Amino acid sequence: MMGPQPALEVRHVTKDFGGLRAVDSVSLTVAVGERRVLIGPNGAGKTSLFHCISGAHTISGGEIHCFGNLISHMPEYERAAIGIGRTFQISSVFLGLTVLENIQIAALGTHERKWDLWRRPDQITGIDGLCRKVLEEVGLLDRSQRQLSSLSYGERRQLELGLALVNRPKLLLLDEPCAGLSPAERQRLFSLIKELPRTITIVMIEHDMDVALGLADQVTVLHRGRKIVEGSADQIKEDPQVREVYFGEV
């Protein structure tokens, strides 16, 4: 591949669970600033692949490179420091805490004052400003003092995105960010994502073809753990294999 170092390089990655092969020798390369969408029917291995990239799963084979770093066996909690951020398919925010506290935790994850045992987070330089900024970006500034129980599901998804954005990730993994949202909420969240700067490389799992096509530079299609097709949005739309996988299986 010519040109600058890719944001993400997945080489023949495999993930086995006992007898089940969730990810089967998948390879893909995502350029810096690219918007890549991963689609595929349920069970195709998309979330498993994400887990491999983020470090939640240890891979059974292959290699993963991120901005030139070999991260295949790097512990999950170290990957945030090299710029990987992610959201989860099932809402994974901190219940029992306020919106602001949620964002503060995220801000502290890779912060030098993470191990401060004495001062309050808002007393640490920069935290306040950073939190405000992100809350503003995801449209939750007026909700900052609220307990999570009082947020709608859509607002929780916004928060979920905010948590991933706080640390200015270079590679953002979005796992069906709009799942379970009303059409209006989907629109809102989706335009938020579209407006993210190109300094952030985005890989997004999406079920909805149209959403995918609206964002993607490139689309990768997975089926039963394998990559079957890759190309531009229009190419994918017309591809016979894809049609079979999506429509033939109904």
Partner 1 sequence: MTNLKKVLALAALGLMLAWPFITGDYLTGLMTQILIFGLLALSADLLLGHAGLFSLCHASFFSVAAYTAAILQVRYQVPVEVSAICGVLSGTLLGLIFGLSVRTRGVYFILVTLAMGYVVWGIGYRWASFTGGDSGVTGVAAFSLFGFSFSSPKSYYFVVLFVVSALIAVYAHLTASPFGLALRGIKSSEPRMRSLGFNPAKHLYVAFVISSVMASIAGVLYVYFNKFVNPVSASLHVSVDSVLMAIVGGSGSLFGSFIGSAIVLWLRNWVSTFIELHLAVMGLVFIAVVLWAPGGLMGWVHKVTSKSSREMS
111 interacts with partner 1 by CB under 8 A: yes
Place of tokens 């490389």: 201
- Give the integer Cα–Cα distance in Å for 28 and 77: 23
96 interacts with partner 1 by CB under 8 A: yes
85 interacts with partner 1 by CB under 8 A: yes
128 interacts with partner 1 by CB under 8 A: no
Kindly report the number of other CB atoms within 10 A of residue 144's CB atom: 17
- Give the integer Cα–Cα distance in Å for 45 and 249: 16
Least distance in angstroms from the C-beta of 249 to partner 1: 30
95 interacts with partner 1 by CB under 8 A: yes
209 interacts with partner 1 by CB under 8 A: no
167 interacts with partner 1 by CB under 8 A: yes
Strand, coil or helix: 116: coil
- Give the integer Cα–Cα distance in Å for 65 and 31: 12
93 vs 205, beta carbon nearer partner 1: 93
113 vs 237, beta carbon nearer partner 1: 113
105 interacts with partner 1 by CB under 8 A: yes
76 interacts with partner 1 by CB under 8 A: yes
Give the binding range for partner 1 (CB under 8 A) out of 37-45, 107-115, 131-139, 221-229. 107-115
Pairing relation of β-strands 20-30 and 8-17?
A: antiparallel
Rg of the chain over all Cα atoms, to the nearest angstrom: 18
236 interacts with partner 1 by CB under 8 A: no
Phi then psi for 67, rounded to 5 degrees? Answer: 50, 40
Give the binding range for partner 1 (CB under 8 A) out of 18-26, 76-84, 203-211, 225-233. 76-84
DSSP code at position 247: I
Phi then psi for 65, rounded to 5 degrees? Answer: -120, 140
- Give the integer Cα–Cα distance in Å for 33 and 237: 23
* Beta carbons of 68 and 249 less than 8 angstroms apart: no
Size of the site for partner 1 (CB under 8 A): 39
Strand, coil or helix: 28: strand
Least distance in angstroms from the C-beta of 172 to partner 1: 12
56 interacts with partner 1 by CB under 8 A: yes
Least distance in angstroms from the C-beta of 176 to partner 1: 16
Residue spans of alpha helices (H) in 126-218: 127-137, 153-165, 183-194, 209-215
24 vs 160, beta carbon nearer partner 1: 160
Among 4, 17, 68, 116, binds partner 1 (CB under 8 A): 116
121 interacts with partner 1 by CB under 8 A: yes
**Cα atoms in the 13 Å half-sphere on the side-chain side of 202:** 25
State the residues that interact with partner 1 by CB under 8 A. Answer: 54-56, 75-81, 85-86, 88, 92-97, 101, 104-106, 108-111, 113-121, 124, 163, 167
